[in-house]
Amino acid sequence: MKKRHLWALALCLSVLSPKTYAQDIAYSDSEDFELQLLESISVQKQVLLQGLDSLKKLSYVTDIYSAEDSLIADRIRKIQRNIPLGYNEQIRSYIDKYISRNYNPYMSKLRGMSQHYFPIYEQILAENNLPEEIKYISVVESSLDPHLVSRSGAVGLWQFMYPTAKIYNLTMDGEVDERKDPYAASRAASRYFLDAYDEFNDWLLALASYNCGRGAVRRAIQRSGLHNPTFWELSPYLPQETRNYIPKFIAMTYAMKHAEEYGIGVGQTELAWEANPIMLDRPVDLRQIAAAVDLPVETIRKFNPAYKRLVVSASSENPKRLLLPQTPQLNDSLLYAALHNQLPMDKLPMAGEGQALAATDRYKVKRGETLASVSRKFGVSVQNLRAWNGLTARSTVVGRTLIVKKEPTQLVSTNSKKQQPKTSSTRTAYVNYTVRKGDTLSGIAAKHKGSTVSQIKSDNGMRSTNLKVGQKLKIRKKA
């Protein structure tokens, strides 16, 4: 920076805060003058920002009844940036839930997953000049689970319904569901928030419309008779779920920002590796990639949840993104061979239960049948039927031909019954394993050939991938 510019900035700071500025730096002819001046400017900038923070007010606050209320309200005021926040009893009740002992494992898991997803969100939100705080909407929507399917059939990290996903150009076919892709879905969500803010000129209303739809917000404004209302003014006219939605968002933002103060740690996750996106211009077998980075195929698929098949059908005309974990085993030669499907097939990891491809059937719904009866007939959930076929809760299904997918576990169990009749010679042998610090299920599975994460969880009656140091696990021996 040129000296005259530094002097101009220094003069501004001296006017704004002459006493502290004079204490921090005096005129000097030494060579390190510019460095001293820059350091002092940085300090004064922080002082000014803190002063501005103290002037900020929350957009909405009801009566404060306790010292704890006052502390939380003050913290929310300080984390408030572009989106106006508020504080009331409803927000406090959600905060109490999120910071409670019962919720601690759930919140720790969210913090672990956020280490992977938040940098992606922040990059895309910044590219679209959107407030970074919007990333917490994805937490409220999906708990950062890309495979979550809601009761209404919404899918993915940002919970897109099929028609809305089509409007925002997300691809959903037999090979990929971009509602589960963190990059594609985040870009689609960003376009939605830009459209909603352009219409309502209020960030909380734009976020509320993500829950109930822009049409519902328009109708609420018409019923209220208000001109340019805030969310809090319009809240009584919105659906009950949406009235709760913004308080949940504010509470989750607060709980995640102040997690350390409430003893909420960072949970272990299979997405702990740093990952970089690469573009594919030819078909690539994910087993080749898994061999190149020395991880189970299941882990590669967790980094790339949108792909339904083991082979990613990319081409120069239709390139595809692949998120590549950066493991110590990865080198340029291995990666080149993997991207050209040149690694020996007998060296590739086998697909376990979690990696088997789902078989797809088509079923025409007869008169008298419902989505619930079809779900029972095929042993799948109603939510999945809706997601696979782009249905809503109001969709009629009689006469429709539905896509019905058999889950991977169904395929495996069916095959195993045919291939392995019950005899005394098929008893399974196990080895014992004691969990060490830093262990993950994917890492343990990688150490025991032929083992998979889903298999370990099933054999040990585990519902999650969380591990405790010293925990005893039984691992199947390779047949």
- Residue of 72, 3, 74 lying closest to 36 (CA atoms): 3
Mean pLDDT of the region 66-87: 92
Mean pLDDT of the region 353-357: 38
Q: Taking the CA atoms of 73, 75, 81 and 82 in sequence, report the sign of the dihedral they define.
A: negative
Q: Indicate whether 20 pLDDT > 50.
A: no
Question: pTM for the complete prediction?
Answer: 0.66
- Residue of 182, 405, 124 lying closest to 305 (CA atoms): 182
- pLDDT the model gives residue 18: 46
| 363 three-state secondary structure | strand
Mean pLDDT of the region 464-475: 80
d(CA 87, CA 255): 13
d(CA 104, CA 270): 19
Q: List residues bridging with 149 in a β-sheet.
A: 155
> Over the Cα atoms of the chain, what is R_g?
27
Average pLDDT over the chain, rounded to whole?
Answer: 82
- pLDDT the model gives residue 389: 73
DSSP label of 335:
H
> Could you give all domains of the chain from N- to C-terminal order, each with its CATH number?
3-55 (no CATH), 68-258 (1.10.530.10), 275-355 (no CATH), 369-418 (no CATH), 428-476 (3.10.350.10)
Mean pLDDT of the region 113-139: 97
- pLDDT the model gives residue 399: 83
Q: Indicate whether 359 pLDDT > 70.
A: no
pLDDT confidence tier of residue 19, bands split at 50, 70 and 90: very low
Name the residue type at position 133.
Answer: E
Q: List residues bridging with 320 in a β-sheet.
A: 280
Q: How many residues does the chain have?
A: 479
Q: Indicate whether 381 pLDDT > 80.
A: no
- pLDDT the model gives residue 363: 83
d(CA 372, CA 463): 26
Q: b vs e for 453-478, b when ≥16 Cβ sit within 10 Å of the residue's Cβ?
A: bbbbbeeeebeebbbeeeeebebbee
d(CA 107, CA 114): 10
d(CA 197, CA 231): 13
Q: Indicate whether 52 pLDDT > 50.
A: no
- Is residue 136 a contact partner of residue 110, using CB atoms and an 8 Å limit? no
